[in-house]
Structure 1
Amino acid sequence: MTGIRALTLVLDEPSSIASALRDALGWTIESDVGSFASLTAPGSIPLWINAPAPGDETSRGVVIHMHCDDVDEAFQQAIERGALAVREPVDMDFGERSACVQIPAAPGVTIDFSRPLG
């Protein structure tokens, strides 16, 4: 069996979104050719952003779950860099510490910083 190589989101203006994700989350842009951009977060698979083909819808209601050692710090850094708070850091009843943000340039996409408790 093979693993997941990358995750692709179909969104308008891939270059602008890639820059906003880089700025708010500290990710690295690996490639940006206008209608396609590729970013990576440390220790993660690539996130590819494609412009929609004519008549295609954009991605909506997507949550990207990011493992991080310090949820509070990751959340605070994202807010300081321009992300919008969706959920402040909290210990969830299912055994995770979690906090969520959205990036205004990427509507419909939520970033969830999380780690197991204990």
Structure 2
Amino acid sequence: MTIRALSIIVEDASEAAREVSEQFGWPRGQSDFHEFADVHADGVDLWFSTSSAVPSGQVDGVTLHVVVDDVDQRTHEIQARGGELILGPVTQDFGMRSAIFRGPGRLLIDVCAEVSA
């Protein structure tokens, strides 16, 4: 498994990405909107968003995106160990298959994989 990105919920995604990029010297990604913007932070992407990237019912906090080979199999394993599934597995319209688990506090954990075309 690999951590791919952290989703950070903010009021203005573009402004948050600009500030972090300027302060730390990390390059901006291709997306730059009020609702979503990204920064490449030395191997982990920071995804700034004005709401949760997936309809989890939770709209503030942090989402840890963990890339796996098989979302469905990993979901089964996590649930067998007592993980609380709150969404999925589902194929998202942005080309990822995701299963969202509740983490400690306001943390969400997105077990995800890119969907082949």
TM-score by length of 2: 0.46
Structure number with higher strand proportion: 2
TM-score by length of 1: 0.46
